[in-house]
Chains A and B, each alone.
Chain A
Amino acid sequence: MAAMQCEIFHNSLGAWMEGERTPEADAHLRACSSCRELLADLTEIRTAGSALGDAEPPPRVWAAICAQLKQENLIRDHSWNSWLPSFGVSWPRPAVAGATLAVLVAGAFLLGIEVRNYNNMQLWTQGTEADTHSIRQNLGNFELHEVSALHGPNPVVNASFQKNLQIVDNYIAMCEKSVREEPDNELARDYLYEAYHQKADLLSELSERGENAQ
């Protein structure tokens, strides 16, 4: 019964985020700490996105992430994506792009958690590798297209970025391995999410430096 209520609430989350709040959903929210936590996380992401101002990922990045999330049924056309793109309408600086990318990565993970909750742990277990692989691929593409060609004037800084990107990549690989081995280990998932977030931060900073140098 409780699981069914959660599923119904999850299905109405898109409308809830847009201000359409039914008494039934409100009552469920008061009674269900899990859904409250999910809603708090999503609200935090949206707030973070709003704080970016007039910012939006470039079409290719959003399109790739969005398509991947849709393909994996992590978002739906008439609910999630009605508020996810509301992060902004333009993307003036790569730093903002990276920050937005980080928010999208966060969103992807939380949406993944949502799938885990209202389906079952097995789906999450089976989907974890594919989910993280796609996010890693998106970050890799971003790195390949936006950053690889950049060479700053300071070799010490370049070396530091390269070394630390390698460190983060290694941690991503180790975290993914841990999540695969223990999919219900929340701390391992937190570390994995933070590793992706860290990589997005590094890439955005590198990209910003490249643009400033031009």
Chain B
Amino acid sequence: MIDLLPIFKSRVLTVTAIAIGGLTLFAGSSSASKHFEKRFKVDAHPVVTIHNPSGTVTVKAWSRPEIKLVADLQSDKMDVDAEQAGNRVDLNARAISANISPDEMRADFELFVPEDTELQIHDDSGAVAVDDVVGDMAVDTVAAGVSLQDAAGYLTIRTVGGSVQCLRCAGKLEITSVSGNIKLIEMRSYNVRAQTWAGDMLFDGEFLPNGTYRLKNYSGLIEVHFSPADSFDLSARSVRGKVDNQANLTPPPRKRGYEPKFSQGFVSGSMNQGKAKVELVSFDGTINIHKRD
């Protein structure tokens, strides 16, 4: 059973970890650490690309027509290329010395951007947190976890081992990961496609009319929470695992002769009018379709 509480706790922990990391950086740093700030005037719908091999990337929306970067670099062997080309801003943390240790590669970015900014973020290890940005977004990480809050637009997130959590996200969402957990809370997305091979998945949000929601993993738990008033067509299948369904499914009204199907590893049918489409697929994992508490 996936507990909802940890998603809120984890954000607090993330901030705490960043703060502790910052204090550690401060306490243990020599004069070699660098602080970098820069502002860029932009028009509507700016595009920001961020490449950071190691460290945190925190992006927050504000109401000003400008972008502000605050970067803390662990060592003077790192530098930040911050360039503007029209309405696009490119931020790139890079090593300027071949003789650099992994610890010295760390760079922590904090950005303030207009809320309609389009973001392209590459962060290998560390953490990515984006709040209140409603432009399209592409986040690509290896081990870094990704946390989006109140985001919208077309959101594409790809991680190798990093976990992903979205809180109150809207628009279209595509998530792929190899082993990261995926948590989608209080969602208002009309299109969700999320896949992880070895991670757990949680969806707790609205099933919008005509929306499509597809969650897929190989092993691990897929858990979906619904309310009695929700309206969706459901297909849940686990090849080797089991499906635990609490939804009161009926034959879809537009499919004559169709009967809801139930077995240990397969459930399908309609909840209310079946306005949304929900597809849950696992190979070896458990799928829970449970009433929201």
Contacts and interface: CB of A to CB of B under 8 A. Distances in A.
Partners in one complex: yes
B53 A187 contact: no
Given A167-B179, A168-B178, A191-B218, A155 B142 contact: no
Contacts of B15: none
A103 B218 CA distance: 21
Contacts of A34: none
A68 interface: no
A164 B142 CA distance: 10
B105 A157 contact: no
B143 A168 contact: no
Nearest to B195: A194
A74 interface: no
Nearest to B283: A191
Contacts of A155: 102
A168 to B, nearest CB: 6
A160 B281 contact: no
B161 interface: yes
A167 B198 CA distance: 8
Interface residues of B, number: 23
Contacts of A153: 53, 95, 100, 102, 105
A154 B239 contact: no
B160 A161 contact: yes
B161 A171 contact: no
Interface in A167-192: 167-168, 171, 174-175, 178, 185, 187-188, 191
A158 to B, nearest CB: 9
Dominant secondary structure of chain B at its interface with chain A: loop
A3 interface: no
Contacts of B272: none
Contacts of B198: 167, 171
B124 interface: yes
Contacts of A187: 237, 239, 281, 283
Given A153-B105, A155-B102, A167-B179, A160 B239 contact: no
Contacts of B240: 178
Contacts of B250: none
Contacts of B102: 153-156
A156 B143 contact: yes
A134 interface: no
B38 to A, nearest CB: 25
A191 B218 CA distance: 8
A160 B142 contact: yes
A163 interface: yes
A167 B218 CA distance: 11
B197 A157 contact: no
Interface string B73-101: 00000000000000000000001000010
A156 B178 contact: no
B54 A198 contact: no
Interface string B175-191: 00011000000000000
Contacts of A171: 197-198, 218
Given A153-B105, A160-B142, 6 more contacts: A153-B100, A157-B142, A161-B160, A167-B178, A175-B283, A187-B239
22 contacts: A153-B95, A153-B105, A155-B102, A156-B125, A156-B143, A157-B53, A157-B142, A157-B143, A159-B143, A161-B142, A164-B160, A167-B178, A167-B179, A171-B198, A178-B240, A187-B237, A188-B239, A191-B283, A195-B197, A198-B178, A202-B160, A205-B160
